[in-house]
Amino acid sequence: TPTQAAEKTYTFYTDVGYAPFEFADKNNKYVGIDIDLIHAIGKAEGFKATVKPVGFNAAVQALEAKQIDGVIAGMTITPERQQKFAMSKPYYPTGPVAAVKKGSNIHSLKDLRGKRVAIKTGTAAADYATSIQKKYGFTTVTFDDSNNMYQDVITGNSVACFDDQPVLQYSIATGMKLQIVAKPETVKYYGIALNKGRNDDLLAKINAGIKKVKADGTYDKIVAKYLGNGT
């Protein structure tokens, strides 16, 4: 085991609000599954992590510009990202869904014709929305963070938004006045992103660490801390 002094510190950027994965608690401290996970992986593999909330798209752009070591931000592993980045082994299942205001008369994607829909810049859910936009005939407005996107739907400026199912479910369970209208069409997984060929030792540690914390129950404890019994 490396000594404290020998431990390297790596910088990860994350989203500003993507509960239960990262969010500010009532003391304005950043907590969540991703935050605990990267520290647990670091503990298992002998490195330290500094995690800074900058927003999802800003985090991905900083990684692309090689300004940071990695992104942990409920980031979906997609073929496009695997081309561009070194993506870790998967850790949490996800898929994009649409949500509308609670009690809305929008019941399916078909009801979106001619309406305005809120999406979040640079996300897999935004890509999904854009891919079905012609078919369902809606217009889009973009936001940099999920909370502002949800508020646009709640205030009625947009009739729907697209985001990942586990994040929308958590927000709804904790009081956000939204409801999900469509099931995810695809199941993908979150992974931690690094630059290709730049941090190969860190990638190996992260993959080994994910395996270890999943095998020894640490990961399940982290998830249970934020999600209880998984409902």
Q: Is 32 in the site for ligand GLN (CB under 6 A)?
A: no
Nearest to 156 by CA among 109, 183, 117: 117
101 binds ligand GLN (CB under 6 A): no
What are the backbone dihedrals phi and psi of residue 210, each rounded to the nearest 5 degrees, phi first? Answer: -60, -45
- Tell me: does residue 45 bind ligand GLN (CB under 6 A): no
- The 10 Å Cβ neighbour count of residue 168 is 23
CB of 222 to ligand GLN, least distance (A): 17
b/e sequence 18-30, b meaning 16+ C-beta within 10 Å: bbbbbbeeeeeeb
Residues numbered 126-145 forming contacts with ligand GLN, rule: CB under 6 A: none
State the residue for tokens 């009532």. Answer: 26
- The answer to whether 163 and 95 are in contact (CB under 8 A) is no
User: How many residues bind to ligand GLN according to rule CB under 6 A?
Assistant: 13
Residue 131 beta carbon to ligand GLN: minimum distance, rounded to whole angstroms: 13
164 binds ligand GLN (CB under 6 A): yes
- Interaction between residue 16 and ligand GLN (CB under 6 A): no
DSSP string, 65-96: TT-SSEE-SS-B--HHHHHHEEE----EEE-E
> Which of 124, 178, 193, 222 is in the footprint of ligand GLN by CB under 6 A?
124
Under the binding rule (CB under 6 A), the answer on residue 56 touching ligand GLN is: yes
Which of 18, 23, 138, 162 contacts ligand GLN by CB under 6 A? Answer: 18
Per CB under 6 A, 19 contacts ligand GLN: no
Which residue from 35, 100, 120, 191 is in contact with ligand GLN, where contact means CB under 6 A?
Answer: 120
Q: In angstroms, give the least distance from the CB of 57 to ligand GLN.
A: 8
C-alpha span between 53 and 63 (Å, rounded): 13
Secondary structure (H, E, C), 8-52:
EEEEEEECCCECCCEEECCCCCEECHHHHHHHHHHHHHCEEEEEE
Check binding of 34 to ligand GLN (CB under 6 A): no
- Residues at the site binding ligand GLN, with contacts judged by CB under 6 A: 15, 18, 56, 73-76, 94, 120, 123-125, 164
